[in-house]
Amino acid sequence: MTIADNDTPVTAGFLVIGDEILSGRTKDKNIGFLADYLTALGIDLKEVRIVPDEKGEIVDAVNALRRSHTYVFTSGGIGPTHDDITADSIAAAFGVPIDVDPRARAILEGHYPPGELTPARLRMARIPEGADLIENPVSKAPGFRIGNVHVMAGVPMIMQAMMDAIAPTLKTGRKLISRSVDADLPESRLAERIGEIQETYPDTLIGSYPRATDGRFTTQIVIRSRDETLLAEATAAVEAAVADALGRQA
């Protein structure tokens, strides 16, 4: 892992592929995982898209994301069945041929007993020309990287293992650090002061997140910055604003 030069932000887009997420049959667990993972690396996840198992939709989304971000990650659609069309779609997006890859074939041949590498399973060795393989320690069928796009499985356990394989190859940004302040107040009681603090500290990102707990509204204010000193100053200002609003309420 290398820190990017000049504090250039390193950004990412994430493409989730699968009818089952859009129908509600499967509840996605990969978005929250990847968001946490990239934040920890200092990479800003800037956009997520979920698209169905349709080639045109996958191609358009991959091409939009790979042009806008340092990295793109995808999950889903690289299994052995007829609806697993991610690899072919990525090849189409890059305009390169795709065929059974000898490296991937060797991995699968080593994994299945003799005679069990059926044509369906061999589909999992189809890799776009010019791609590197991403190791899958869980079930062997590899993911791949082509250009700035990392193609992973949709099963969370496998996707997470693939991210661990990818992470050391990524350049990372200067890490965004954060502090949070919990306020036992609805956010509308704090909004004006917090807005003023945001204006005073433009190099911080201040988010205000309302919560409904047992029918009562409370607020969490999260302050983020790449600079420790600014972060400490802005956090102190937020804490003072919360104390002041609580005092006025009492």
With CB under 8 A as the contact rule, which of the stretches 30-38, 92-100, 142-150, 226-234 interacts with a second copy? 30-38
Query: Residues binding a second copy: what is the number (CB under 8 A)?
Result: 68
Q: Which is nearer to a second copy, 96 or 174 (CB)?
A: 174
Asked if residue 207 binds a second copy (CB under 8 A), the reply is yes
Contact residue for a second copy among 133, 222, 230, 236 (CB under 8 A): 222
Tell me which H or E stretch contains 12.
Answer: strand 11-17
What is the spatial distance between Cα 39 and Cα 51, in angstroms, rounded to a whole number? 23
Q: Which is nearer to a second copy, 132 or 182 (CB)?
A: 182
Helices (H), 8-167: 19-22, 30-41, 55-68, 86-94, 102-111, 119-122, 156-166
Contact residue for a second copy among 3, 7, 8, 36 (CB under 8 A): 36
Burial 14-51 (b: 16+ CB within 10 A, else e): bbbbbeebeeeeeebebeeebeebbeebbbbbebbbbb
Contact residue for a second copy among 209, 240, 243, 244 (CB under 8 A): 209
Q: Which is nearer to a second copy, 90 or 124 (CB)?
A: 124
Asked if residue 85 binds a second copy (CB under 8 A), the reply is no
**CA torsion 159→164→169→170, rounded to 10°?**
70
Tokens of 173: 């940004």
With CB under 8 A as the contact rule, which of the stretches 16-24, 93-101, 127-135, 225-233 interacts with a second copy? 16-24
Tokens of 147: 């250009």
Could you tell me the smallest distance in angstroms from the CB atom of residue 228 to a second copy? 18
Residues near 131 by Cβ (< 8 Å), separated by ≥ 6? Answer: 101, 144, 145, 146, 151
Contact residue for a second copy among 89, 198, 225, 235 (CB under 8 A): 198
Contact residue for a second copy among 2, 5, 6, 82 (CB under 8 A): 82
Could you tell me the smallest distance in angstroms from the CB atom of residue 124 to a second copy? 8
Percent helix, percent strand, percent coil in the chain, to nearest 5: 45, 25, 30
Tokens of 181: 């302040």
What is the spatial distance between Cα 136 and Cα 79, in angstroms, rounded to a whole number? 12
Asked if residue 195 binds a second copy (CB under 8 A), the reply is yes
Contact residue for a second copy among 4, 46, 171, 227 (CB under 8 A): 46
Asked if residue 177 binds a second copy (CB under 8 A), the reply is no
What's the count of helices (H) and strands (E) in the chain, helices before strands? 9, 13
Q: Which is nearer to a second copy, 54 or 96 (CB)?
A: 54
Asked if residue 80 binds a second copy (CB under 8 A), the reply is yes
With vertex at residue 191, the alpha carbon angle to CA 223 and CA 33, rounded to the nearest 5 degrees, is: 40
Write out the residues near a second copy by the rule CB under 8 A.
Answer: 16, 19-28, 31-32, 35-39, 44-53, 57, 79-83, 118-121, 123-124, 138-139, 155, 157-158, 176, 178, 187-192, 194-195, 198-199, 205-212, 217, 222, 224
